[in-house]
Structure 1
Amino acid sequence: MSRRARVLPGFSLSLGIAVLYLSLVVLLPLSALFLRTAELGWERFYRIVTSGWVASAVRFTLGASLVAALLNVVVGLLIAWVLGRYTFPFARVLDAVIDLPFALPTAVAGIALSTLYADTGLLGGALSSVGFRYPWPAWRGFERGWREWPIEWTVYDRISLAPLGVVVAMAFVGLPFVVRTVQPVIEDLSRDVEEAAATLGASRLRIFRAVVLPELAPALLTGFALALARGLGEYGSVIFISGNRPDTEIASQVIIKMIEVNETGTYADATAVAVLLLGASFALLLVINLLQRAAARVRSDGAAG
């Protein structure tokens, strides 16, 4: 019997190289992180991750990442729809600009955003001159940690050195994940069903809700999860626009401070916060994957019916 031709000959060799590379780049560093955290013991680990300082930073990071990811889903869907469905001048230029946050150093993005949205910046100054205001939830009494309650709303009149600036920075780095996840699906969508629905008298909103959105739902969930996870671990683009303020401190800043300042913690303490963020990212990705499978199952059942 003749052997089947393979593009990459040698399954064992290819698999071994893949597993070795994955272990060196991903698995071993994560294992070292958990092993270093295990040195703390459960009691100290619990005390660190439930302290008011860590709880405040993690809460703010989760909230800002969630707002940025939801914003990217809406705007990213619109951008992906324009790029996937329409032909217009400079479309390739716009398509290339979407990938700019991938190539641009995050520190450069942070400096650019902080300059633009500062009180003396082009957009920040213009918004300040028209009396721009927005509320943001804040927790008081850091000594209570995760049990802190109730939420107090603080009104801000600026973007830079304020929570909205952090959201803008996270939206900047997370937008390509949504666009690049949804755009191929939009390009592959058949327009026959949309045209048939329009012929039967369906409105544009109903066509989008009943025909297009179910097809895009798994891709949107994937893009949302990637943008959210990217926001949770962001540091470079946020550090400049947020400043060193307690009300805009993200979890990555807490980790850096624990490493750099001996009075506030140690390297092992920093790994405890890192493990907390890693666990949150894993949990979010797991939930999103389960939702994707459920959406795919419902779509397949609907097609079979």
Structure 2
Amino acid sequence: MERMEHHILDEQKGQRLDKVVATLNKEWSRSQVQQWIKEGDVKINGSVVKPNYKCALGDKVHIQIPEAKELDVLPEAMDLDIYYEDSDVIVVNKPKGMVVHPAPGHPSGTLVNGLMAHCKDLSGINGVLRPGIVHRIDKDTSGLLMVAKNDVAHEQLVNQLVDKSVTRKYHALVHGIIPHDYGTIEAPIGRDQKDRQNMNVVDNGKHAVTHFEVMERFNEYTYVECQLETGRTHQIRVHMKYIGFPLVGDPKYGPRKTLSLNGQALHASVLGFNHPKTNEYLEFEAPLPTYFDELLQSLRKNIDKD
């Protein structure tokens, strides 16, 4: 069990304890730190306090990092929307609201739980919690994912992602009317210095490139297709916010006044890659989920009325 101490600095006084502690290690999330504080693993001057405790200059923070708990990933029978499958790879259309792999707070009901019930042969490169997972999409983003069934396929598919040879196109609805039909956003993405649970465009971030094309314009919104050249965390959501057109329904990067969608209007519509064994190029396209299609139809009717 790891222990450490930290004395509150002048620039940290008045800040919440959970926020201060989360900045001490880039691997710690704020929600994880909050749980530690609630369980008494983080104390101020030897006393248990709440996560919103306002730190004072000179306060001594005692941190006792608990041992990581191993999660058992159990197979769960699910009605998966599988677009392609052979002995090396699976292509699946993930629904909105489903988490890709187990994590603290989401031990079950994930895509990995469903895949483990569907087939027993998933690659083990990412360990027991993420078997077969080559790339991820956010919980409230729907669409196509490729999953590796063995380690050789996994490495080959990851190499394609690194080489930027995988085709990944997303459909999104954003706030505002984008004046240009086409555009490219090239801006580095990294952890937001003020809130480490968020990503942001930062000077020392990782190289990130998103290409977009306007599909349709409405009274107050624009329907776009975004193609990823790189695959950074929350890339489309961060990049579209950066140029002033945040995604509709996005609780993290969008405006407070938005359409009620329980998450961003974002769908991974096209996925193309070379088969890891035959090298044949495969491309798949998943239609918009019902909620997204109905939303667009509603916006079109409003335009007609105007």
* TM-score bracket for this pair, using the shorter chain length: under 0.3
Q: Which has the higher strand share?
A: 2
Larger radius of gyration: 1
Structure scoring higher RCO (CA < 8 A, sep ≥ 6) equals 1
Q: Which has the higher helix share?
A: 1
Q: TM-score scaled to structure 1, two decimals? A: 0.21
